[in-house]
Structure 1
Amino acid sequence: MEYLDKENAADVDQKQEKIEDERKIIRKKKNKKLGGIKTMPFILANEICDRFANTGYHANMITYLTQELNLPLVQAANTLTNFDGTANFAPLFGALISDYFAGQFSTIMAGSIIYELGLISLTISAVLPKFHPPPCSTQENCKEASTLQIWVLYICLLLTSLGSGCIRPCVVTFAADQIDMTKSSVAARSWNLFNWYYFSMGMATLAALTLVVYIQDNVGWGWGLAIPTIAMALSIVAFLVGSPLYNRIKPRGSPLVRLAQVIVAAVRKRKEVVPADPALLYENRELDAAISLHERLLHTNQFK
């Protein structure tokens, strides 16, 4: 009886192994279907519309602040400089959110929605008279924007800065993740992705600087801001349409967090004696595997 039970148990184990192998094969096939060159039109369309919207509303904003809100030139320049700095600093937090828990797809989507809300608010504030002072054609002794009107502007610009901070650090890496760089033929052609990417960005910027700025100066700021807002909405739609095709890599932790942990550990253990045998040092292979080529970080005396 014991012999038969062992045989039955062995048969069950073999069947389970076969089932598990079949599941792995199915998973690999599904993963192969995801990503690839077919995702590029959606990702590039998203980034083209985003760059068109960003350049379109931002390039001529100094004119909007001085001629529509009647702000002094120095105050207008300082306002744009402050929010430019915020937009350039925000990607640090956007990358941290993406790498640590949200993932690139979710971060791009959240950033795009926040950015769109900022553009919608800015367009509404340009169209409705109560959100800007009366027109002043002479540009002399004009009534400046009230405190409420300036705060509405600040909120709009803050939303666009935060949204841009979530989009910028993720789009290029997300596009690169769709291509399997382990294939030599694809790796040899990887430059095509970045060529097309930066060519598309350049064309979108050129179109915005000519078309949108012309409309803002000659037609009005209502349409001049509405067109970038519509372009940003189209970028969200394009990105969502391609979502079933994307290869989404799970967050593996941020190097900024690991760097902070190293600094804290180094300060706390600064008086400890380093053992002669590196094998006695702390290792976490599970964490190291995600950020190293050989599944572990090698110890070095270089930075002592």
Structure 2
Amino acid sequence: MIEKNGSGHVERTKGGFITMPFIFSNEACEKLAVVGFGTNMISYLTRELHMPITKAANTLTNFGGTSSLTPLLGAFLADAYAGRFWIITVASVIYQIVESLSLNKCILAGMTCLTISAVLPQLRPPPCNPNLVCQQANTGQLGILYFSLLLAAVGAGGIRPCVVAFGADQFNETDPKQKTKTWKFFNWYYFCMGASILVAVTVVVYIQDNIGWGWGLGIPTMAMFLSIIAFIIGYPMYRNLDPAGSPFTRLVQVCVAAFKKRNLHMVSDPKLLYENRELDASISVAGKLLHTEHMK
């Protein structure tokens, strides 16, 4: 990715450790929200929505699988089109912003929808009666759940692949003085991520089990809202690099070219092979890979 100012000259004045609190807050709150709910999600589905254990486990598996696939799309859009800042911002908003809400209908985004569904009794089945069979969630209530989980997975797909890379963008890797700062960033990043996960699986889960799901989901939701504001406030200080193309695109191009030329003979001199130094400049920092006779 290439950073330029209005006159086309490379600009390195922004970024640095001053941007880290804004970036770390977004990542920490994302982990607080996702891990805090995902860890105890099976309890919410079985106790609050009265799902059978097999159906609840299947829902949890589908949510985890979708959340693991959407980062591929988020990374592609960030690298090829929008840039990391805007993908993180939009993905965070998908987590949070209320699109529409009425007493009996909820069309929200991500964690907000989950929180509202945990607070409003109309959005979940009535409590179990010891003398009767527990009433399961109806189609509308399940639709709200699945829709909110889908939005949460989409939001995670934009945040997870971009936050750590966006943080690394704040340092100039070609400057020897900033190489150690990049390592410090990664150390603090994983420390903050681990600390937020620890809080999620202890404090948040305790609140959900002992105080209520309204507070248990509301606290991460409010934290996510504040992190979005903090992340956007830091915009003037960020190094926002222009998209330089996704490696997925290059990979597909190489595969297509290799298939089309599968019957051609290998040239004797690797220097005769096609190279584009200008095209490769944005993705090659320490030179290029040497040609090899192996793995043909």
TM-score bin, normalised by smaller chain: 0.7 to 0.9
Alpha-carbon contact 1:289-1:296 (below 8 Å) kept: no
Asked whether the 8 Å contact 2:5–2:11 carries over to 1, the reply is: no
Name structure 2 gaps, 5 residues minimum. Answer: 97-108
The aligned residue for residue 8 of structure 1 is: none
What is the match of residue 151 of structure 2? 159
1:149 alignment partner AA: Q
TM-score (norm 1): 0.84
1:46 aligns to 2:29 (yes or no): no
Q: Does 2:58 align with 1:78?
A: yes
Write out aligned runs for 1:165-204 (5 A). 165-204=157-196
Partner SS for 2:12: helix
Whole-angstrom CA distance in 2 between matches of 1:162 and 1:252:
23
Aligned-residue offset at 1:293: 3.7
* 1:274 is the counterpart of 2:266: yes
Structure number with larger C-alpha Rg: 1
Aligned equivalents of 1:258, 1:140: Cα separation in 2:
60
Q: Report the CA distance between 1:187 and its aligned residue.
A: 1.6
Instruction: Please list the CA deviations of residues 245-279 of structure 1 after superposition, one character each: whole Å capped at 9, or x if unmatched.
Output: 00011111111111111111111221223333445
Larger mean Cα displacement after TM superposition, 192-201 or 230-239 = 192-201
Aligned residues: 281
Which residue of 2 is the match for residue 65 of structure 1? Answer: 45
Q: Aligned partner of 1:151: which letter?
A: G
Residues 69, 139 of structure 1: CA spacing in aligned structure 2 closer, same or farther, 3 A cutoff? farther
RMSD between superposed Cα atoms in Å: 2.4
Alpha-carbon distance in 2 for matches of 1:91, 1:130: 33
Tell me what 2:93 maps to: 113
**AA matched with 2:279:** L
Q: What is the rounded CA distance, in whole Å, between the counterparts of 1:106 and 1:25 in structure 2?
A: 18
Q: Distance in 2 between matches of 1:281 and 1:75?
A: 55
Give the alignment of 1:245-284 within 5 angstroms: 245-284=237-276
Q: Deviations over 1:54-85 (max 9, x none)?
A: 22222211111000100001110110111101
Task: Tell me the amino acid that sits aligned with residue 158 of structure 2.
Answer: C
TM-aligned CA deviation for residue 198 of structure 1: 1.4
1:292-303 equivalences under 5 Å are 292-293=284-285, 299-303=291-295
User: Are 2:203 and 1:211 aligned?
Assistant: yes
Instruction: Please give the alpha-carbon distance, in whole angstroms, between the structure 2 residues aligned to 1:214 and 1:241.
Output: 32
> Normalization by structure 2: what TM-score?
0.87
Code of the aligned partner of 1:213: V
Structure 2 CA distance, aligned partners of 1:192 and 1:138?
56
> Contact 1:118 / 1:157 at 8 angstroms: preserved in 2?
yes
Give 1:60's aligned amino acid.
N
In structure 1, the gaps of 5 or more residues are 1-23
Distance between the aligned counterparts of 1:298 and 1:289, measured in 2?
Answer: 16
1:219 and 1:294 map into 2 onto residues whose CA distance is 54
Q: What percentage of residue pairs aligned between the two structures are identical?
A: 53
Native 8 Å contact 2:25 2:227 kept in 1: yes
The answer on whether the counterparts of 1:90 and 1:165 sit within 8 Å (CA) in structure 2 is yes
SS at the partner of 2:34? helix
Deviations, residues 10-50 of structure 1 (Å, cap 9, x unaligned): xxxxxxxxxxxxxx999799933310111111111221222
What is the aligned counterpart of 2:11 among 20, 24, 31? 31
Question: Does the Cα contact within 8 Å between 1:62 and 1:76 map onto a contact in 2?
Answer: yes
C-alpha separation in 1, matches of 2:132 and 2:38: 25
Whether the 8 Å CA contact 1:288–1:295 is kept in 2: the answer is no
Counterpart Cα distance in 1 of 2:197 and 2:129: 30
Whether 2:213 is the aligned partner of 1:230: answer no
What does 1:234-245 correspond to in 2, within 5 Å? 234-245=226-237
SS in structure 2 at match of 1:33: coil
1:145 paired residue among 120, 131, 137:
137
Query: Is the helix fraction higher in 1 or 2?
Result: 1
Q: Residue 92 of structure 1: which of 50, 72, 82 is its match?
A: 72
Equivalent position amino acid for 1:179 in 2: F
Q: CA deviation at 1:111?
A: 1.0
**Amino acid corresponding to residue 226 of structure 1 in structure 2:** G
Task: State the match for 1:136 in structure 2.
Answer: 128
